[in-house]
Chain A
Amino acid sequence: MEAPVDLANLRDMIDGDKEMEKALFEEFFSSFEAGIAALQSSSGDAEAWRKEAHALKGVALNLGAQTLGELCKNAQEAQHDPEKTKAAMVATIRAEYEQVKTFLQGLC
Chain B
Amino acid sequence: MEKENFTILIIEDQKFCTDLFRAAFGQYHILMAHHGSEGLEIYQRHRPDIVFLDIGLPDLSGFEVLEKLRLFDAHARIVMLSAMNNGAYVKRCKTLGAMGFLTKPYQKDYIQHYIEQVEAK
A-side residues, CB < 8 A to B, are: 9-10, 12-14, 17, 20, 23-24, 27-28, 31-32, 51, 54-55, 57-59, 61-64, 69, 73
On whether the beta carbons of B24 and A13 are closer than 8 Å, the reply is yes
On whether the beta carbons of B24 and A14 are closer than 8 Å, the reply is yes
Interface residue count on the B side (C-beta < 8 Å): 19
Considering the chains assembled together, what is the distance between the CA atoms of A57 and B23 in angstroms?
A: 20
Contacts of A61 in B (CB 8 A): 83, 104-105
Contacts of B106 in A (CB 8 A): 9, 13, 62
How far is the CB of B93 from the nearest CB of chain A, in Å? 16
Which of A17, A23, A58 is the one whose CB lies under 8 Å from B104? A58
Specify which of B14, B83, B107 lies most central, judged by the most chain A CB atoms within 10 Å of its CB: B83
Considering the chains assembled together, what is the distance between the CA atoms of A73 and B82 in angstroms?
A: 13
Docked complex: B1-53 residues within 8 A CB-CB of A: 13-17, 19-20, 23-24
Contacts of B84 in A (CB 8 A): 54
Which 3 pairs across A and B sit closest by C-beta, in order of nearness? A58-B83, A13-B24, A61-B104
Docked complex: B69-102 residues within 8 A CB-CB of A: 83-84
